[in-house]
Amino acid sequence: MTEISMPVKDIDWDTWKPEILATLLFVVRDGRVLLIRKKRGLGEGKINGPGGKLDPGETPRECAIRETTEELMITPLNVRGAGELLFHAEDMPRIHAHVFVATDFEGTPTETEEAIPVWFRFDEIPFDEMWDDDRLWLPRVLKGESVRGYFTFVEETLLDHDVSFYGAEPALPDR
């Protein structure tokens, strides 16, 4: 079997175009994070944050709130931008994901056709049930930092990455 290599440095990120613009949103409260077990679509069966594809004319923040509401029946509050992730793969869609963190919500997290809500303490996040890249950036985002990450994948396996962190973006006022 030939080993597949796709270094991040070999991709021209200045001209790279995603096939999907998407969001991820992580609700944090009392040292815990609200995640989902995806029931369908890309990443089915994996643990992740709620999120999904931007609709035409929608901002990333609007999308993150809408997708979280659709997947968990809650409205996230005190939402702040927490960075961007760029995923390149030859066998999956290329994705540019905007990451958000919310520190409160209205409603009760409820299972839907798309997702099962699950709370985890920060030190008990099941990274072995998540995408390979999550362990590289999610702990620091949950502690308040923001991320810029570049990742290459094949067959849902992380090949290479380049991740940097910077100070937190302020939360935007809710509606």
**Residues with Cβ < 8 Å from 66, sequence gap 6 or more?**
55, 58
pTM equals 0.92
The tens digit of pLDDT for each residue in 71-82 reads 999 999 999 999
DSSP conformational letter for 55: P
The tens digit of pLDDT for each residue in 38-86 reads 999 888 999 999 999 999 999 999 999 999 999 999 999 999 999 999 9
Angle (CA) 68-45-147 rounded to 5° is: 55
Q: What is the CATH number of domain 20-166?
A: 3.90.79.10
